[in-house]
Amino acid sequence: MQNIRKIVFLSLLSCEKNSRYSNLEADSVLSTGKIEEKNKGFYTALFYGVIERKITLDYQIAKFCAKPSDSLQQNVVILLRMGLYQLLYMNSVPDHAAVSETVRLAKETVNPGAVGFINAMLRNAAQKIKDVNGTVKLITPDRTRDICGFLSITYGYPRYLCKLWVNAYGEENAEKIMQAMNRPPHLSIRVNTLKISREKYLYMLDEAGYSAFASEITNDGICLDNGNISSLPGYNEGLFFIQDDASAMAIKAFKVHQGYTVIDTCACPGGKSFLMSIYMKNNGRIISSDIHENKLSLIESGKKRLGIDIIETRCADATVYDPSFEEIADRVLCDVPCSGFGTIAKKPDLRHKSKESISDLPKLQLSILQASSKYCKKNGYLMYSTCTLCPPENEENVRSFLALNPNFKLVSMVTNFPYESLSDGFFYAIFKRNN
């Protein structure tokens, strides 16, 4: 019988020790064939669940631990997180199994003294953290006295991010953002309407046995409950590509047309360039730039698969102005590097970014916007976008840009909140250059 919990333990340990991204670790494990098909769902649920809820779990551990929790060995902490996650969030696992299976794994991975400690702590938690009906009651800071602490522990987000959202959007909306991004993510794809209609592709998916439905907010999007992207029907034929609805709505608002010259300054992996090409009926010119030369191959292979030939790729630092592109573009897109907080549902590692790691982003983003704006023709349009919910990276940068550039006016500014639809959190602003 396969010890699936040990595989989860080793994956979590790899992420902790090597600062490895969870998606890379999971993809590596799931693609090797080491996990039996029947166990893949359990692996994914427990592995990603522990990472998503680490802040919540560590707070519970600290409350139940007789000694400082930061003095515990790494292996012990990971085991406690796994056991607690099963107790709190996995209804399919009986409490006695959550405890006994964690203890059994502990006997293989920690010293004998720690095994007894883990057993006692999990049994104590099982008794105190659930009532007689099995309803979970987390230990949290008092909501009325410490709203940010309460939200942080209840939903598993860093306190600084809770404070940022509460201050920016209010308590109710901040909580709705966290609830929405704690739901299981779905796969969102964009149909390549150069080759097939959405209705025909939905029929192909249905015939192949996939559970899929048309997006309610875009006319070319499809949402799937699951599925390996490369195994979906029509992948090699270029009938679709991955893209969230929020990104697609922004590109639609940008109103690109056939024959336009468009510059996409931070283009990789290429989804927005692909969609603009489709909206332009593969007629015009798109210059897709990125600072990472090795990533440009994603655009090259993607455009070939999709049957797009109007995209030119180039390696360039978007903060550095290129005079050869001055005023050549009808549209300039700046989808800048950002903190990514709108995509936490799909990228759980983002929950654990430090406040310091994102502090320099607004300055970088504004420098990209400043340099890129010079490529815009008179009466042309410039878009600034991020996949984050963070006013210093969004609204504040828009205000700074307008103050520095009176020759541009703001046409629209939109924040897409994840609780409004099944899409990511996303922000965009569109500017028009004056004649």
For the chain, give the mean pLDDT. 95
Rounded to 10 degrees, what is the CA torsion of 412, 413, 419, 425? 120
How is residue 191 written in tokens?
Answer: 């149909």
Phi, psi at 285, each rounded to 5°: -145, 125
Is pLDDT above 90 for 284?
yes
**Cα–Cα distance measured from residue 267 to residue 430, given in angstroms and rounded to the nearest whole number:** 17
Phi, psi at 333, each rounded to 5°: -105, 125
Beta strands 285-290 and 311-315, pairing class: parallel
Helix (H) or strand (E) holding 12: helix 4-18
pLDDT band at 346 (very low <50, low <70, confident <90, very high): very high
Topology of domain 187-241, CATH:
Alpha-Beta Plaits (3.30.70)
**pLDDT above 70 covers what percent of the chain?**
98
Residue 278: predicted pLDDT: 98
Q: Give, rounded to a whole angstrom, the gap between the first and last alpha carbons of the chain.
A: 72
Residue 369: predicted pLDDT: 98
Is pLDDT above 80 for 226?
no
- Whether residue 189 contacts residue 216, with contact meaning beta carbons closer than 8 Å, is answered with no
**Cα–Cα distance measured from residue 413 to residue 188, given in angstroms and rounded to the nearest whole number:** 24
**Cα–Cα distance measured from residue 338 to residue 343, given in angstroms and rounded to the nearest whole number:** 11
- Whether residue 121 contacts residue 22, with contact meaning beta carbons closer than 8 Å, is answered with no
How is residue 13 written in tokens?
Answer: 């340990």
pLDDT band at 135 (very low <50, low <70, confident <90, very high): confident
228-250: average pLDDT: 94
Tens digit of each residue's pLDDT (9 = 90 or more) over 38-50? 899 999 999 999 9
Residue 330: predicted pLDDT: 98
Residue 297: predicted pLDDT: 97
b/e sequence 22-42, b meaning 16+ C-beta within 10 Å: beebbeebbeeeebeeebeeb
How is residue 242 written in tokens?
Answer: 């991955």
Residue with tokens 């008092």: 142
Helix (H, G, I), strand (E, B) or coil at 45: helix
**Cα–Cα distance measured from residue 204 to residue 209, given in angstroms and rounded to the nearest whole number:** 9
Q: Which of 17-21, 69-73, 208-212, 331-335 has the lowest mean pLDDT?
A: 69-73
**pLDDT above 90 covers what percent of the chain?**
88
Residue with tokens 């994603």: 298
Q: Where are the domains of the chain?
A: 4-128, 147-181, 187-241, 244-433
Let me know if 387 is a catalytic residue.
yes
231-239: average pLDDT: 95
Residue 129: predicted pLDDT: 87
**Cα–Cα distance measured from residue 97 to residue 88, given in angstroms and rounded to the nearest whole number:** 13
pLDDT band at 195 (very low <50, low <70, confident <90, very high): very high
Residue 188: predicted pLDDT: 95
Residue 2: predicted pLDDT: 76
Question: What is the DSSP-derived secondary structure letter of residue 225?
Answer: S
How many residues are given for the chain?
435
CATH of domain 244-433: 3.40.50.150
CATH of domain 4-128: 1.10.940.10
- Whether residue 14 contacts residue 20, with contact meaning beta carbons closer than 8 Å, is answered with yes
Q: What is the 3-state secondary structure (H, E, C) of 175-196?
A: HHHHHHHCCCCCEEEEECCCCC
Select from 131, 123, 124 the least CA-distant residue to 102. 123
Give one word for 29, left, alpha or beta, with left for phi > 0 and alpha for psi -120 to 50: alpha
Tens digit of each residue's pLDDT (9 = 90 or more) over 373-414? 999 999 999 999 999 999 999 999 999 999 999 999 999 999
78-97: average pLDDT: 95
161-183: average pLDDT: 98
pLDDT band at 68 (very low <50, low <70, confident <90, very high): low
158-174: average pLDDT: 98
Cis peptide before 269 (omega within 30 of 0): yes
- Whether residue 432 contacts residue 384, with contact meaning beta carbons closer than 8 Å, is answered with no
**Cα–Cα distance measured from residue 86 to residue 126, given in angstroms and rounded to the nearest whole number:** 10
Alpha-carbon Rg for the chain, nearest whole angstrom, is 24
Residue 76: predicted pLDDT: 96
Catalytic position from the list 65, 148, 387, 390:
387
pLDDT band at 422 (very low <50, low <70, confident <90, very high): confident
Residue 93: predicted pLDDT: 94
Q: Which of 62-71, 89-98, 250-259, 298-307 has the lowest mean pLDDT?
A: 62-71
Residue 101: predicted pLDDT: 96
Residue with tokens 């996949």: 387
208-231: average pLDDT: 90
Residue 1: predicted pLDDT: 59
